Amino acid sequence: MKKTVFLFTIILFFSITKASCYGNLNLARQIELPNVKGRLDHLAVDPKRQLLFVAAYGNNSLEVIDLRRGKLIRSISGLNRPQDVKYIPLEGLLAVSNGGDGTLRLFDANSLKWVKTIYFRSDADNMRLGPSGTRLYVAYGEGAIGIVSLPELRRIGDIRLGAHPESFQIDGVSEKMYVNVPGKREIAVIDIRQEKIVSKWRFTPARDNFPMALYEKTHRLFIGAWVPAILVTYDTHSGKLLCRTRISRDADDMYIDPKSGLIYCSSGVGFLDVIAPVKNRHRVISKIHTAPGARTSLLVPQRHRIYVAAPAENGHAARILEFKIE
């Protein structure tokens, strides 16, 4: 028995060590956002032009950063509590969802000029591109995912959920969408071809299931919850809950590095958790200091970077923390 426990401990140690050696984070630089006040929300990147976009929720603006120069180059004002931003390469568009007035505002990705506004009932929030790149899914209001046809630039349908949807992910192979619905303490599984809910998983381990990440390669779905602060892992084939892991409080963004399988989770208490898979379990292998309120982030695997949005606080200007993955 002692020999078995010893061997398991050695295997566990080397599994974590192997994963962590690919995921060391070093703060490469900080890019200031002068005069940007209030909460910062989600981010997006245009890899071709090397531009980073930041939805500055509290500032009612979209901030545009040139990653080559590490400098803020433009601020698009007049938005209404922008919550998410998506770069849409196939259509050459930039989409910004606004929680304040429920609008989806579309801009030309080259000139950043306004193209069109599409109206939702209220609280336009998280967005995802469909597998074809021609449909945009928008979480909004008291319980729906809106469907936008990008070639036509018009709203073509809704998938009703019964409570406000938070983070959601799309499996491009099975064409299933997984949606956090914290108000109902469930995960809705949607067939995007049929545009309807095909299953509902009760989320019983905790309350307030907000961030989500999907690893299609291993059929694993990761859910971050606030009360208690845990990461919950599901098997997407069976819907079975596999394990739970303690994480930092107030998590809002979560990503999986496709090279290492490591999970990066940013939280408002000022940590970026690095979580390693070990068989069917996960462990936090490091907690990187960020800044108070730095809840949102963006992993850009092609650049081996993760960007964390830190709001203005304690004499510091709002800024983007750029971490290099080594």
Structure confidence by residue, pLDDT tens digits, 277-290: 887 689 999 999 99
Let me know if residue 242 belongs to a domain. no
> Does 92 share its domain with 217?
no
- Taken in order 97, 231, 38, 52, is the CA torsion positive or negative? negative
> Does 67 share its domain with 197?
yes
> Does 177 share its domain with 226?
no
pLDDT at 281: 87
Q: Which domain holds residue 40?
A: 35-204
CB atoms under 10 Å from CB of 205, counted, come to: 15
Let me know if residue 259 belongs to a domain. yes
Residue 85, H or E segment:
strand 82-88
What's the chain's length in residues?
Answer: 326
CA angle 129, 130, 132 (to 5 degrees): 115
Q: Tell me the percentage of the chain whose pLDDT exceeds 90.
A: 90
> Does 222 share its domain with 172?
no
Residue 45, H or E segment:
strand 43-46
SS3 label, residue 3: helix
> Does 259 share its domain with 305?
yes
Residue 172 carries which side chain, given as an amino acid letter?
G
Q: Which residues pair with 190 in a beta bridge?
A: 177, 197
Let me know if residue 114 belongs to a domain. yes
CB atoms under 10 Å from CB of 71, counted, come to: 10
Q: Tell me the percentage of the chain whose pLDDT exceeds 70.
A: 93
Let me know if residue 314 belongs to a domain. yes
How far, in Å, CA of 91 to CA of 249, rounded?
Answer: 37
> Does 259 share its domain with 320?
yes
Let me know if residue 240 belongs to a domain. no
CATH of the domain at 141: 2.130.10.10
Cα 163 to Cα 56, 123, 180, 282, distances in angstroms? 25, 12, 10, 30
Cα 318 to Cα 30, 54, 309, distances in angstroms? 10, 11, 8
> Does 301 share its domain with 318?
yes
Q: Per the structure, how many domains does the chain have? A: 2
Let me know if residue 194 belongs to a domain. yes
> Does 216 share its domain with 307?
yes
> Does 171 share its domain with 225?
no
Give tens-digit pLDDT for 5-27: 333 333 334 444 444 455 689 99
> Does 175 share its domain with 94?
yes
Dihedral pair phi/psi, residue 306, rounded to 5°: -130, 130
Give tens-digit pLDDT for 108-140: 999 999 999 999 989 999 999 999 999 999 999
Let me know if residue 160 belongs to a domain. yes
> Does 45 share its domain with 153?
yes
Contact by Cβ (8 Å): 269, 248? yes
Let me know if residue 129 belongs to a domain. yes
Confidence of residue 244 (pLDDT cuts 50, 70, 90): very high
How far, in Å, CA of 324 to CA of 272, rounded?
Answer: 13
Give tens-digit pLDDT for 296-324: 999 999 999 999 999 999 889 999 999 99
Give tens-digit pLDDT for 53-86: 999 999 999 999 999 999 999 999 999 999 999 9
> Does 180 share its domain with 83?
yes
